[in-house]
Amino acid sequence: MLQITNLSASIDDKKILNGFNLKIKPGEIHAIMGPNGSGKSTLANVLTGKNGYQVEGQVLYQGKNLLDLPIEERAQKGLFMAFQYPLEIAGVNTNNFLKTSLNTVRKVRGLKELDSLDFLNLIKTKTKNLKIDEKILNRQLNVGFSGGEKKKNEILQMTILEPKLAILDETDSGLDIDAMKIVSDGVNSLRSKDRSFLIITHYQRLLDYIKPDFVHVLVDGKIAKTGCSELALELEKVGYGDMEPTSR
């Protein structure tokens, strides 16, 4: 699914990722943990193609060179990111945004675009399954949403777009237990043998609900340690303090 080799990224000559390596196979869930400033969000941004980074190294996504593709093509090919801070867009109806997004992606994938009625049926099912209040659909995209509503909206978008690889960038930060449950239910419901997840988080909490196959600890722009889900619990106790950057 995804193979990252010797990835470096800097902003204004400040190196943030430095010799980062990671391989994600179809169906796997990887969690990336690490202290603030270790490069977690940069990793998500570089993979999705956000501007402003000088990037070196190689990233293969489904066997193709990911770094050459514009942002929207990466998305159309099934790469999705749940944003840490979802953006507010005034005047744009949430329902419309989701429909436009889904139909753009469907068109590229050679599928028939959904008309309003089909889409409505789909979204009603999804919101119901996720226990998300349908009312957010008729509001302006993320405008005036609470932190929890914004994150739920990200998960809703994820379940609608059915990505191949979903990156969750600190989706759990600032969530209460109920919202956390919705987020993890969303991920668990999508879990399948050909879909992978990269879950970026600062806390272990989310991993009580989503069982990762691997946990990586990111320190100073590279993976300092890799383990199974117990590693997360261990980190919760001892913190990141004594974590020395080592090669994997």
Partner 1 sequence: MKQSTINPSEEYKYGFTTDIESIRAPKGLNEDVIKFISNIKREPGWMLEWRLKAYARLKNLKEPNWQKPKYPKIDYQDLYYYSAPKSSENKPKSLDEVDPRLIETYNKLGISLKEQEKLSGVAVDAVFDSVSVATTFKDKLTEKGIIFCPISEAIQKHPDLVKKYLGSVIPITDHYFATLNSAVFTDGSFVYIPQGVRCPMELSTYFRINASETGQFERTLIIADKGSYVSYLEGCTAPMRDENQLHAANVELVALDDAEIKYSTVQNWYPGDKDGKGGIYNFVTKRGACRGNSSKISWTQVETGSAITWKYPSCILQGDNSIGEFYSIAITNNYQKADTGTKMIHLGKNTKSKIISKGISAGHADNTYRGLVRIGSKANNSRNFTQCDSLLMGNKCGAHTIPYIENKNSSSNTEHEATTSKINEEQLFYCNQRGLNQEEAVSLIVNGFCKEVLQQLPMEFAVEAQKLVGISLEGSVG
What does the binding site for partner 1 look like in residue numbers (CB under 8 A)?
48-51, 70-72, 75-76, 80-81, 83, 86-87, 89-92, 97, 100-101, 104-105, 108, 140-141, 157, 161
Distance CA 158, CA 104 (A): 15
Query: Considering beta carbons, is residue 71 or 228 the nearer one to partner 1?
Result: 71
Q: At what angle do helices 94-108 and 116-130 cross, to 10 degrees?
A: 110
Q: How far is the CB of 210 from partner 1 (least distance, A)?
A: 21
Query: Considering beta carbons, is residue 109 or 128 the nearer one to partner 1?
Result: 109
**Total residue length of the chain:** 248
Residue with tokens 């957010």: 136
Q: How far is the CB of 50 from partner 1 (least distance, A)?
A: 6
Residue 229 carries which DSSP code? T
Query: Considering beta carbons, is residue 17 or 166 the nearer one to partner 1?
Result: 166
In 3D, which of 244, 202, 242 has the Cα closest to residue 219?
Answer: 244
214-219 vs 29-33, strand pairing mode:
parallel
Partnered with residue 199 across adjacent β-strands are 31, 168
Q: How far is the CB of 125 from partner 1 (least distance, A)?
A: 20
Distance CA 20, CA 218 (A): 9
Residue-wise DSSP of 56-89: EEEEEETTEEGGGS-HHHHHHTTEEEE-SSPPP-
Token readout for 10 is 């800097």
Residue with tokens 């997004």: 101
Q: How far is the CB of 107 from partner 1 (least distance, A)?
A: 9
Query: Considering beta carbons, is residue 78 or 221 the nearer one to partner 1?
Result: 78
Query: Considering beta carbons, is residue 154 or 220 the nearer one to partner 1?
Result: 154
Query: Considering beta carbons, is residue 100 or 226 the nearer one to partner 1?
Result: 100
Residue 39 to residues 34, 35, 45, 174, 234, Cα–Cα distance (Å): 8, 9, 10, 20, 21
Q: How far is the CB of 89 from partner 1 (least distance, A)?
A: 6
Q: How far is the CB of 208 from partner 1 (least distance, A)?
A: 28
